[in-house]
Chains A and B, each alone.
Chain A
Amino acid sequence: MKALSIALKDIRLALQDPGTWVSLFLLPLLFIFIFSGGLGALAGENGDEETGAAQMALPVVNRDEERELSQALLGRLEASGAVVLQPLTQAEADQRLDTQEIYHVLVIPEEFTASFAAGIPSEVRLINHLSADAGTTEALRLAVDGAVQDLVLEEQLVASLEQMGAMQGASVPEQAFSTERIVAQAESQFVRAQTQPLVTVSRVDPGQSGEEVRETSFLGVQVFVPGFAVLFIFLAAQTTARSIYDEKKEGTFRRLLAGPIGKSSLLAGKLLPNLILALIQFAVIFAVAIFILPLVGLDRLNLGNDPLALILLCVLVALCSTTLGILIAAVARTENQIGGISTVVIWGAGILGGAMIPTFLISDLLDKIGRVVPHYWAVDGFYELLVLGGGLADIALPLAALAAFTLLFFAAGVWRFDYR
């Protein structure tokens, strides 16, 4: 109860401080908005070729000879209301891209329909100019991606059902397709469309790397939201450290030590507020990503398929951050040292651990080095849950690593902690 009294007092003090609101909620959300393309979406056209608040101009070079499937795709794109198509020839598109009259062009390959009919995978290319707005690029990619996926799935399902219909006509009644078999076939087609798509969308950014960037399933919001949540929740470790330092500086720590409260309860009382605030921070960031980001034209955060695993991961990340705060409080002797350690260690570890940009996108080496910091495992866990749709079993290693870091920080912090 005494630890709880300390915790409630600390939460009250923290929430009285405007700095807490800024560092716990405002800054992470700001970073998320910026890095998830929020600025692009909010800033509007920015020299780009959008035609309205909700619709974007999309120049198209349709090189498909048979045109049947490509027209269906373009029809879907227009029907979505997200884009206004501008048909161009390849030469016109190249020239307008060069002169920056347009910033994006969708290129449908020559044997698009034929390849699909033959079951051969083909590729739709979204070419973006170097100075294209990132938010618009992302929005166009999502629109094209969605239309392609829907079309492919529909085509595959229809083809499959037609095949089944033909087989049904030729079969004896006992061998006829039951409802269950039809559903199973549809599900199988759906999975196949997801895992082995016949059409993929690739993004080309000429002048940036000269290489094609193949879109994988990690979307901006799914990566940046948990990444920045991890970064800022670990940054909150300095709140714990500063709270302990302030208590010592003001003399209240000494007064508490003179009271009938054990040292373990006192430490627990100092740990608990950060843990609670970190969990609130997760909840607020995720809630904003689910409910607010879509309102400004960004993706809605998908919390994956295993809420229990997600909660467990959040709690462990919050706990790890809190114990890191105890360690910082134990090591730092001055307020400046707390600030210095927090800046160097927590920001450094955040970058190294891929909280800002996933390490595997940068280099294999960084991906290996990043494992020495808890941020890496936290980001890895969220990636597994939110991007790859994994479950508790898939994040066993990140959870174990975070638990190990938590124990290490706590043991080292308590060992070095100076109660005087």
Chain B
Amino acid sequence: MPAILEVEHLVKKYGDFAAVNDISFSVEEGEVFGLLGPNGAGKTQTISMLTGIVEPTGGTARIGGHDIERQLKETKQISGLVPQELALYPTLSARANLDFFGRIYGLRGRTLKERVDDVLQIVALTDRADEPVENYSGGMKRRVNIAAGLVHQPKLLFLDEPTVGVDPQSRNHIFESVLKLNRDRGMSIIYTSHYMEEVELLCNRVAIIDRGRIIALDTIRNLMAILGGGILQVGVPTVTRQLLRELTALPAVEEACPGDPAVAVAEESNGEPEPETQTIKIMTRDSQYALVNVIGYLNERDIPITSLTILEPNLETVFLHLTGKKLRE
């Protein structure tokens, strides 16, 4: 598949602060690509550059082969944006909003009317299309927000956190719409979110972004494979190198390492009780089997377990593993 989007070393700086710091990736035609990261990671800034809202400080990107700086008009014509905010005119009806945004993309007359009817059907709002948007529920507004990004039939759609503040029913409807657009119309979609469940459900490949950098990019299966069979987080009074070595040697354990890399690890315990417990992060090949072995090992040596967490392999865990923090922190 040819690439609909190619991003090379894209940078956006505000003074000394790099909101986006040298990111590169590509999206194939017909792909649903996820940008996963916590708030402030640089997802929206990346989209803002790719949609021509802000100019990049460095790097390049091409949409459908058109450079986003030199051929901005062409890139805008084939891409669509569904912003995080409900970017609509509340006192106008859904139809009037869509009509207006269609005109901005140069649509007129019968074509415009057909496109408006089409996107209203996609988001299942045909029967209430003539009501002012301000009368809609939050979920319905979100659906109109999506429709406004579709009215000109873009080849590449940027969906920026489209489910923020949406009830479960509308969220499901949005998921269905995204999958339908991709499956039936071959639309390429870049989906940003800090909800890993959404990205897992919708996306073929995911770039995990943190502090303006892409820290991992792969298919969801490959990203999860980083974690093997899952992670155990075990609280003990003292973490020593000897303890880590012996835990790593247990069956079904891939690796044991300090939960907090900043904490200094002594070779052996000096027998003095530690003021605070420490955490060991244990990467496993099979979390259940490894758990049995770890508990047995610690009991045999009378090492008390002060806490125990089993992290199943998912994107949240991958993010935690890669950054040491949670997605929604």
Residues of A within 8 A of B (CB): 1-2, 5-6, 9, 12-13, 16-17, 250-252, 254-261, 419-420
> Contacts A254-B53, A258-B52, A259-B76 hold; do A16 and B91 have CB atoms under 8 A apart?
yes
Cβ of B104 and Cβ of A256 under 8 Å apart? Answer: yes
Inter-chain contacts of A260 with B (CB < 8 A): 73, 76-77, 104-106
Q: A5-B103, A250-B89 are in contact. Are A255 and B76 (CB under 8 A)?
A: no
CB pair A255–B77 under 8 Å, yes or no, is no
Set of chain A residues within 8 Å of B85, measured between Cβ atoms: 250-251, 254
- Supplied contacts A250-B86, A250-B87, 17 more A-B pairs, CB within 8 Å: A2-B104, A2-B106, A9-B89, A12-B92, A12-B96, A250-B88, A251-B87, A252-B87, A252-B88, A254-B85, A255-B81, A257-B51, A258-B80, A258-B83, A260-B73, A419-B53, A420-B54
Q: For the complex, is B248 an interface residue (Cβ under 8 Å from A)? A: no
Say yes or no: is B314 at the interface (Cβ < 8 Å to chain A): no
Q: Which residue among B52, B73, B85, B88 has the maximum number of chain A CB atoms within 10 Å of its CB?
A: B85
B87 touches A261 (CB 8 A): no
Q: Which of A9, A256, A258, A259 has the most CB of B within 10 A?
A: A258
Number of B interface residues in the complex (CB < 8 A): 30
B60 close to chain A: CB less than 8 A = no
Q: With A250-B88, A251-B85, A251-B86 known to touch, is A257 a contact of B52 (CB < 8 Å)?
A: yes
- What does DSSP make chain A's interface, helix, strand, loop or mixed? helix
User: How many angstroms between the C-alpha atoms of A251 and B90 in the bound complex?
Assistant: 12
**Which of chain A's residues have a CB closer than 8 A to the CB of B195?**
none
**Cα–Cα, bound, A241→B218 (Å):** 46
Please report the C-alpha to C-alpha distance between residue A420 and residue B105 in the assembled complex, in whole angstroms.
20
| Docked pose: A419 CA to B52 CA in angstroms | 11
Question: Nearest chain A CB to B158's CB is how many angstroms away?
Answer: 8
| CA A256 to CA B83, docked complex, whole Å | 11
**A2 to B102 CA separation, bound complex (whole angstroms):** 10
The residues in B between 79 and 116 inclusive whose CB is less than 8 angstroms from any CB of A are 79-81, 83-92, 96, 100-101, 103-106
Contacts of B283 in A (CB 8 A): none
C-alpha gap A46/B173 in the complex (Å): 69
Contact status B83-A254, CB under 8 Å: yes
Decide yes or no whether B148 CB sits under 8 A from chain A: yes
Using CB atoms, name the residue of chain A closest to B54.
Answer: A420
Is the pair A261, B92 in contact by a Cβ cutoff of 8 Å?
no
Q: What are 28 inter-chain pairs, A to B, with CB distance below 8 A?
A: A2-B103, A5-B100, A6-B104, A9-B100, A13-B89, A13-B91, A17-B91, A250-B86, A250-B89, A251-B85, A252-B89, A254-B48, A254-B53, A255-B83, A255-B101, A255-B149, A256-B104, A258-B52, A258-B53, A258-B81, A258-B83, A260-B73, A260-B76, A260-B77, A260-B104, A260-B105, A261-B104, A420-B54
Sorted nearest first, the 3 A-B pairs with minimum C-beta distance are A251-B85, A251-B87, A258-B81
Q: Shortest distance in angstroms between B177's beta carbon and chain A's nearest beta carbon? A: 18
Q: Tell me the minimal C-beta distance from B323 to chain A in angstroms.
A: 28
Nearest-Cβ distance from residue A171 to partner chain B, whole angstroms = 79
Within 8 Å CB of B77, what residues of A? 260
Q: In the complex, which residues of chain B have a beta carbon less than 8 angstroms from the beta carbon of A12?
A: 92, 96
Tell me which residues across on chain A come within 8 A of B84, comparing CB atoms.
251
B96 contact set on A, CB distance < 8 A:
12
| Residues of chain B within 8 A of A5, CB atoms compared | 100, 103-104
Q: Which residue of B lies closest to A10 (CB)?
A: B89
Q: Is the CB of B53 within 8 A of A259?
A: no
Closest to B132 in A: A16
- A35, B285: Cα distance in complex, Å: 87
Assembled-state Cα–Cα distance A178/B100 (Å)? 70
B105, A259: Cβ atoms closer than 8 Å: yes
B91's nearest neighbour on chain A, judged by CB, is: A16
The answer to whether A259 and B73 touch (CB under 8 A), given A13-B91, A250-B89, is no
Give A252 to B96 CA distance when docked, in angstroms.
Answer: 14
Point out the residues of chain A lying under 8 angstroms from B79, CB to CB: 258
> A420 CA to B54 CA in the complex, in Å?
7
Q: Nearest chain-B residue to A256 (Cβ)?
A: B104
Per-position binary interface string of chain B over residues 33-61, scored 1 when its CB falls under 8 Å from any chain A CB and 0 otherwise: 00000000000000010011110000000
List the A side residues contacting B149 at CB < 8 Å: 255
Contact between B83 and A251, CB atoms less than 8 A apart: yes
A81 CA to B53 CA in the complex, in Å?
A: 70
Contacts of A257 in B (CB 8 A): 51-53
Q: A6 to chain B: closest CB distance in Å?
A: 8
Q: Closest residue to A266 on the B side, CB-wise?
A: B104
- Rounded to whole Å, the gap between the CB of B116 and the closest CB of chain A is 14
Distance of A13 Cα from B53 Cα, bound (Å): 24
Q: Is the CB of B87 within 8 A of A254?
A: yes
Complex alpha-carbon distance, A9 and B100, angstroms: 7
Q: Which of A17, A257, A259 has the most CB of B within 10 A?
A: A259
Shortest A132–chain B CB gap in Å is: 49
> Within 8 Å CB of A261, what residues of B?
104
Provide the residues of chain A in CB contact with B103, threshold 8 Å. Answer: 1-2, 5
A307 and B42 CA atoms in complex are apart in Å by 58
- Complex Cα distance, B76 from A261, in Å, reads 9
Interface residues of B in 180-199 (CB under 8 A from A): none
Whole-angstrom distance between the alpha carbons of A270 and B92 in the complex?
17
Q: Which residue of A lies closest to B78 (CB)?
A: A260
Across-interface contacts of B73 in A (CB, < 8 A) = 260
User: Which A-chain residue is minimally distant from B75 (CB atoms)?
Assistant: A260
CB <8 Å contact, A255 and B148: yes
Q: How far is the CA of A13 from the CA of B88 in the complex (A)?
A: 12
Contacts of B80 in A (CB 8 A): 258
Residues in chain A near residue B86, CB distance under 8 A: 250-251
In the assembled complex, the Cα of A148 lies from the Cα of B194 at a distance in Å of 85
- Give the Cβ gap from A14 to chain B, nearest Cβ, in Å: 10
CA distance A252 to B53 in the complex (A): 12
- Give the CA-CA distance A148 to B101 in the complex, in Å: 65
Per the bound structure, the CA–CA distance linking A288 and B73 in Å amounts to 47
* Docked CA distance A252–B87 (Å): 4
